[in-house]
Amino acid sequence: MGKILPLKGIRVANFGWVWAGPVAGQTLAFLGAEVFKVESRQRIDMTRTLPPFAEGKPGPDRSLSNHASWAGNGSVSLNLKEQEACDLARDLIVHSDVVVDNFGPGVMDRLGLGYERMRRAKPDIIMLSMPAAGLYGPLEHVRTYGLSLTSVTGLDSLVGYKKGGPVPFENAFSDPLAGIFAAFAAITALNHRRNTGQGQQVDFSQQEAVMQMVGPAYMDYLLNGRIGGPKGNEHPLGIAAPHSVFPCRGDDRWISIAVHTESEWAGLVSAMGEPEWAQAERYSTLQGRIANIDALHAQLAEWTVQHDDRALAEQLQHHGVAAAPVLNVGDLLQDPQYVSRKTFLEVEHPLGFRETIYGAYIKMSRTPPDVRPGPMIGQDNDYVFREILGMSEERYRDLVERKIIY
């Protein structure tokens, strides 16, 4: 296998904050880019405060969540409240190919690091700006976390119990999705630069990226005038039945089953042993099954609860039915699929403890990535300021002492 990753030689100054921006850097790093997260002890990033912590000892360099979500990023520490630190950040950008930030519009300008100023210093720089709702429009300054971001995409209006109100995602799942989207926007801009020599600013709206997931409901409204709402686990467009999760034997064990076609329904009925209830006239067509979906789900649940989730999923798959065990978090590390693909890796953190983080979700046959845990704050200061920027030892020590490099 080759050892030169596709983005080797590309340097990224990553001002990304919390989760979305760092995941963009993580994806670029998995592909070989040299990524430096710009952060500060003056204002510790929120993800560094998230438990659990290595060996149960809280600390900004010990958050296991942070180490997984920022894997691949390096770190330089600059107190951007100080002008000298902003000047150093500008020097780092001049020595970089891509800048990532997920601040609100105008923040990079106020730091003296905005695109128009940076392009004068480095004409082919690529600036990936990924605020919540883009760089312009009525929501340009909207303040969100992942939870509130999904509220302005329409997605939350579709999630919840059937005939109930919305039950939004309880976690910021939109963040990593937006981060991966954004990384490929940066790659597109890099390819354009390679072809033309021109840099550019990429205006990446997390809102617009996440909104892609409401596409079917959007088309249903456009074509049929129907405004979708929470449907529990039923198919969002009501075109499949059964379509839900069902209880299985054991403590809180479940299986998901989705049946779209007549052949899949026949496979399910066969797997159940051709019970009389499943051969009733009302279930003989897809339309009938959809019209009687509540009764269908109740009767199916009486059967699934007698079975082990994994064994039943395997049995149903054998009969051509899309069925899968509902894995809980405790199942993941030992799950054969994840073990086979090395989805989770045990690595050694620079502080000396071992931890498990998730590995690269991009698996290229010629160039497997090196996966490193998220960085300690400022772990790359010496390399970046002394070697890349050519700073003298005396000045470096002075800036550290005055907490400019901090």
CATH number at residue 131: 3.40.50.10540
Question: pLDDT at residue 1 above 60?
Answer: no
Average pLDDT along the chain: 95
The helices-and-strands tally (H runs, E runs) of the chain is 17, 11
Total structural domains in the chain?
2
Q: Does residue 369 sit within a domain?
A: yes
pLDDT for 146 equals 81
Range ranked top by mean pLDDT from 1-15, 243-257, 329-343: 243-257
Torsion angle defined by CA atoms of residues 190, 7, 179 and 219, in that order, rounded to the nearest 10 degrees: 60
pLDDT for 170 equals 77
Same domain, 175 and 72: yes
Task: Give the dihedral sign, CA 270/271/274/279.
Answer: negative
Same domain, 85 and 178: yes
Same domain, 166 and 120: yes
Of 327, 361, 390, the one marking the end of a domain is 327
How far apart, in whole angstroms, are the C-alpha atoms of residue 339 and residue 332? 9
Write out the H or E segment, with its range, that includes residue 69: helix 64-69
Is the separation of the CB atoms in 124 and 192 below 8 Å? no
Give the pLDDT confidence of 92-104 residue by residue, as tens digits.
999 999 999 999 9
Give the end-to-end CA distance of the chain in Å, rounded to a whole number.
40
pLDDT for 401 equals 98
Is the separation of the CB atoms in 19 and 172 below 8 Å? yes
Q: Does residue 390 sit within a domain?
A: yes
Amino acid found at 24: A
Domain that holds residue 323: 242-247+253-327
pLDDT for 148 equals 86
Q: Does residue 19 sit within a domain?
A: yes
Same domain, 58 and 172: yes
Same domain, 41 and 165: yes
Q: Does residue 70 sit within a domain?
A: yes
Distances (CA, A) of 277 to 8, 290, 307, 375: 61, 15, 19, 58
Give the pLDDT confidence of 260-290 residue by residue, as tens digits.
999 999 999 999 999 999 999 999 999 999 9
Selected residue with higher pLDDT from 350 and 402: 402
Of 327, 362, 390, the one marking the end of a domain is 327
Question: pLDDT at residue 2 above 70?
Answer: no
Q: Does residue 4 sit within a domain?
A: no
pLDDT for 209 equals 95
Write out the H or E segment, with its range, that includes residue 301: helix 293-304
Q: Closest Cα partner for 155 from 79, 206, 223, 224? A: 206
pLDDT for 271 equals 98
Of 279, 295, 327, the one marking the end of a domain is 327
Give the pLDDT confidence of 148-179 residue by residue, as tens digits.
899 999 999 999 999 899 998 778 889 999 99
pLDDT for 73 equals 96
Same domain, 47 and 155: yes
The mean-pLDDT minimum among 76-90, 110-124, 208-222, 317-331 falls in: 208-222
Q: Record the tokens describing residue 376, joined without a space.
A: 């300690």
Phi, psi (degrees; rounded to nearest 5) at 34: -95, 110
Same domain, 15 and 60: yes
Write out the H or E segment, with its range, that includes residue 350: none
How far apart, in whole angstroms, are the C-alpha atoms of residue 312 and residue 292? 24
Q: Does residue 218 sit within a domain?
A: no
How far apart, in whole angstroms, are the C-alpha atoms of residue 50 and residue 125? 33
Amino acid found at 90: R
Question: pLDDT at residue 21 above 90?
Answer: yes
How far apart, in whole angstroms, are the C-alpha atoms of residue 180 and residue 176? 6
Give the pLDDT confidence of 106-142 residue by residue, as tens digits.
999 999 999 999 999 999 999 999 999 999 999 999 9
Q: Distance from CA of residue 209 to its chain's centroid?
A: 12
Mean per-residue pLDDT, 55-70: 95
Same domain, 130 and 76: yes
Q: Output b/e per residue, 383-398; b: 16+ Cβ within 10 A.
A: ebbeebbebeeeebee
Q: Which residue carries 């695109």 as its tokens?
A: 115
pLDDT for 50 equals 95
pLDDT for 362 equals 84
CATH number at residue 282: 3.30.1540.10
pLDDT for 327 equals 97
Q: Does residue 235 sit within a domain?
A: no
Give the pLDDT confidence of 327-378 residue by residue, as tens digits.
999 999 999 999 999 999 999 999 999 999 988 888 888 998 889 999 999 9
Question: pLDDT at residue 212 above 80?
Answer: yes
Instruction: Note the pTM of the prediction, 2 decimals.
Output: 0.92
Same domain, 321 and 376: no
Q: Which residues contact 75 (CB under 8 A, 6 or more apart)?
A: 36, 37, 39, 375, 376, 377, 378, 379, 380
How far apart, in whole angstroms, are the C-alpha atoms of residue 314 and residue 325? 9
Same domain, 69 and 208: yes
Q: Does residue 194 sit within a domain?
A: yes
